Amino acid sequence: MSIKFSPNAPVDTVNKMGSWAEKLKHELSAPDQNQTLSVSDGYEVHYLSLKEIVAGRLVDNPDCSRWRHMVSVGDQLVAEVELDESQSPIALHMGPGKDGLSTTVSLASSLDGDYEASVLSVAPLKFIALWLKGDNDDLIIPYAPNATSLKNGVAVPVRDVLDVLKPLAQDVINSTTNDTGG
């Protein structure tokens, strides 16, 4: 399989990271201060709307999209850096998502076909996944810290992901619109 990320990704992220880069190098390469900080090719993260999911649209109309890069110090993956609209760093993600994405991209390389990859995130549902957009079909591969019943590391058609996420999204919408504050 061939996985490619968008060719329009920002390229000057390490320089824009400024003090974040120095802090990461200092904190994470303790004995060897000479380790190099590097970033992967950029990839898009699409933040999905609960209302769109309830309407049956998982990948058609994201709320917003942001660029991210994996950040490594030496050969250790340490974080993801997220960029704003001007492609300046706005967040550093150091949790299990970075490891989940790396593992999932490796697993996806065993699938047949050619795909363009990006990430889907639905924070209120604690759902994160690799979206593989193909010429004939799209596949979604959830990864940790996904907290839905969809199994991490398993490629699933979009319609099957919607079958799981729609009722969860509706429950969240109902619970927030019916909240009386008590």
pLDDT at residue 22 is higher than 90: no
Higher pLDDT residue, 26 or 135?
A: 135
The SS3 assignment for 139 reads strand
* Cα three-residue angle 127-129-28, rounded to 5 degrees: 95
Cα(85)–Cα(98) distance, rounded to whole angstroms? Answer: 21
User: Where residue 182 falls among pLDDT bands split at 50, 70, 90?
Assistant: very low
Cα(47)–Cα(23) distance, rounded to whole angstroms? Answer: 28
Cα(118)–Cα(129) distance, rounded to whole angstroms? Answer: 9
- What percentage of residues in the chain have a pLDDT greater than 70? 91
Averaged confidence pLDDT in the chain: 85
Higher pLDDT residue, 135 or 35?
A: 135
Question: How many CA atoms lie within 13 Å of 133's alpha carbon, on the beta-carbon side?
Answer: 13
pLDDT attached to residue 167: 97
Tell me the pTM: 0.84
At 80-102, the pLDDT tens digits run: 888 888 888 888 888 777 788 88
Cα(160)–Cα(135) distance, rounded to whole angstroms? Answer: 19
Cα(5)–Cα(77) distance, rounded to whole angstroms? Answer: 18
**Which tokens hold the place of 74?**
């030496």
